Structure 1
Amino acid sequence: MRYRLSELGEKIGAELRGRDFEVEGISSLELAGERELSFVESRAWVAAARRSKAGALMVPPELAGEFPGRSLLICPNVRVALARVARLFFKPAHPAPGISPLAVIEEGADLEEGVSVGPWVFVGAGARIGEGSVLYPGVFVGAGARVGRRCVLYPYVVLYPGVRLADEVVVHAGTVIGADGFGYAQEIRRDGLRHLKIPHFGTVEIGPEVEIGANSCVDRATFGVTRVGAGSKIDNLTQIGHNVEIGEGCIIVAQCGLGGHARLGRYVMLGGQVGIAPGAEIGDGARVAAKSGISGKISPGEEVAGIPAIPARIWRRAAVAFAKLPDMVKDWRRLRTLLSGPEPDGGSK
């Protein structure tokens, strides 16, 4: 794939400054060559950009003057421009349409046109696979499940019976959607405590343009639906519990765990290893720092951190104070000695 700089500028709404030429690819500042495009997101990158061999740079307007004589694409938002340009050069090499003779397609399954089904794929009775979707080797699609158009299920993805995926969903290798939630009742008997499994009658619905990372799990609802909203992105090794509701456009970073019936509004962002207690609610646009623990309710737009989570501005001050505690304790002990005075026998406390 090759594009002239002027053509790229038109596609991403950027202003071209400097020489126009044909670009062969995009890369980092360190790796880019003379026929490639790179990018500068902040002033901290200026020195590396000046050393770079990249033929052209995408830069924000405030940094355009830092690179005299260079070909530039001046972008209002460099990271968005990067995403759009990279998609032009990156074309995933999915398998061609067709059904492998080693796949098992049960009677009553419906596969639309242009579907690619790899070896050792299983598609259960009554399941439907939408037009142009790709099922890599080892994928399991249970009876009655629904996969929308242009979805990609990477190797060994498991969709339990009745699970529903909308259009253009991407599910990475090893992810399981629709397993039972972790629901048990405790019964005390003469011979000890028993955990009685509560059957899960519900399902999972994944909205359009959702991407779910490798080895993640989205559990089916006890009753009703576990739901992931349109455009949300879920990283690797994440646990979504039964009856969780995730709004549209959320970002959930690796190793997060969402307990049953938790609610996330629209455009919520969770850092890595965040734990959400069952039934917790997080309002639209809230942000949660990595390793935080959430219970109760977080207001829309709030930024929180810590265990239990508190407003991030307070947590940052507390973190600074915590590092100073050993010296503060020493000072407090000295002050207590000075204020207490000598003991009656001439000693000190």
Structure 2
Amino acid sequence: MHAGDDLRGPLAGHPPPRRAVPARRVRRGADRRTLADDDRLPRGGSAPRAALGDPGRRGAIASAVRRGPADADAVGPAGGALPRGGSAPHPPAPVERRGAGAAPDRPDPARGGRRPRDPVDGAGGPRLGGAPCARIGPVDAERVLGDGRADGVWCRLGEPLTVAQIARGGPAWLCLDAQHGAFDDAAVLASLRALGAVSGRPPVGVRVAGLSDALIGRALDAGADVVVVPMIETVEEALAAVRAAHYPPLGRRSWGPMSDLWGAAPPSAAEARTALWVMIETQAGLDAVDRILAVPGVSGVFVGPFDLAIGLGRDLSDLLAADGPDDPLPRIAAAARRAGKGAGAYAGDRERAGLLRALGFPRVAVATDQSLIALGTAAALDADAADSDC
């Protein structure tokens, strides 16, 4: 501070200077004083109380800092707006304050202020032309996976771009395998975001690694339309899966979506779309299948025939050939029909897919992402070879 500088300011009863004090050079030409040279901020020191002025100015400066450096120099005297490149406007009307340290009042929507964002319905999110920005919501999985044949693809590689490309091929549904596949939380989230760019994307399920509130909740938070829970053997386990997948009062799922940067549908809307499928893969699960499917909140049953064959001590081909009403796979399909729930199964190839459909499972995973890459490569090479032979 120069010896001849005038210390008059807000503490002496005078109004603050009528120009902004950005953190850069504020004058150009012959007199090139920097902020540190200004009489309100000694070089190398902190700002004295006189430099910050009244509480309204402190709040305005703090608000400008939060908005970013591009807006910092738009703060005029006592928090008034300062047009870029122009002079300061007339001082704003005095604002009544409750105390020396009182923070500025929150914006009032009735006075044209911006409404605070609601963490549930996102009503204060960005708006374009007065309308909320469009959001990519979950597909209505129960509607899409209703009655009738629905051939899906089982994804194991954990590669989001591969998932998106497969979705463009037109499967009725996809399932990301986080139990035996390479999908971790990050890969699931990235895949679901990549699918957001696919027009008319299919419903997407996530098979979680096990019965866990955290695993089920995180799959749904990432944006899964269906969560598939393996190795369900009892009614108690089915109830635990329901509690993890559904919001109160049916369950105890915690709200915390990761799939929408601008807010999300309220829990009531998400709840209506949540689909929980349980896997029957053991003798205990087979014995309790009717009671498991009677649990409210369970949407359907999905069979892993490989694990079921191991659990029953049977050969896979024998299990798929057993088509009597008391045989394992027909029993599971019949239980789903009685309960009014969906029935699906993993096949892995077209031959097993046909057998499973005949046994009462209309929703079948006919291939994996791994097999489709190999088959597509072989088909392309065979076509090139055929063309070269002509």
- Shorter-chain TM-score range: under 0.3
Greater fraction of residues in helix: 2
TM-score, scaled to structure 1: 0.20
Q: Which has the higher contact order (CA 8 A, sep 6+)?
A: 2
TM-score, scaled to structure 2: 0.18
Greater fraction of residues in strand: 1
Name the larger-Rg structure. Answer: 2
